[in-house]
Amino acid sequence: MKRFIAGTVFGIALGLVGMALVMPRLMVEEIESPLGYEETIAHLEKKVTDGGWKVSALMRLDQSLAKEGKSVRPVASMKICQPDHAEQVLLDDDARFLSVMMPCSIAVYEKADGKTYVSTMNSGLMDRLFGGTAQKVMAGAVAKETAGFVTF
């Protein structure tokens, strides 16, 4: 019986460690851009607006940090919103908690290898985590449309 309990505890612990290692990569998708940093930002802004979304803000995080005496490689966070999708989520009291993730974000950054990368939240994962309006909007239209924005 002690072996069974020890084996069960070990199995649960191993599963939790595995989840901790895998979940961050499931929640955020990263792709390499074939364009330079500024060109990638311009490309994304055009695709977002052509797709019927709004760019609410473009935050140049490296520039903000430079004002504080910090130096990091170029990095920007683009906040985007599609009013019809946002309205669906915000009208449903059971889905309003998603407002913490609104507006949607796309990050553009350079790494030490000199290449430009783009990362987005994996909105399609929402269908596995939530139901109702959250599933319908986030895992449906939002996931499909934002995935299209980061194609080159």
Per-position DSSP letters for 41-60, written without gaps between them: HHHHHHHHHHTT-EEEEEEE
pLDDT value at residue 126: 59
Which is more confidently placed, 15 or 75? 75
Averaged confidence pLDDT in the chain: 85
Write b or e for each residue in 101-114: b if 16 or more Cβ atoms lie within 10 A of its Cβ, otherwise e.
Answer: ebbbbbbbbbeeee
pLDDT value at residue 26: 62
pLDDT value at residue 25: 55
Residue ranges of domains in the chain: 28-149
Nearest by Cα to 151 from 47, 29, 53: 47
Cis amide prior to 103 (ω within 30 degrees):
yes
Containing 78, the helix (H) or strand (E) segment is strand 75-81
The architecture CATH gives domain 28-149: 2-Layer Sandwich (3.30)
Contact partners, residue 15, CB within 8 Å, separation at least 6: none
Round to whole Å and give the CA distance between 119 and 143.
13
The phi and psi torsions of 89 (rounded to 5 degrees) equal: -70, -45
What's the pTM value of the predicted model, to 2 decimals?
A: 0.79
The answer to whether 96 and 133 have CB atoms below 8 angstroms apart is no
Residue 13 token pair = 């612990």
The answer to whether 54 and 80 have CB atoms below 8 angstroms apart is yes
When pLDDT is cut at 50, 70 and 90, the band that residue 66 belongs to is very high
Decide if pLDDT at 44 tops 90: yes
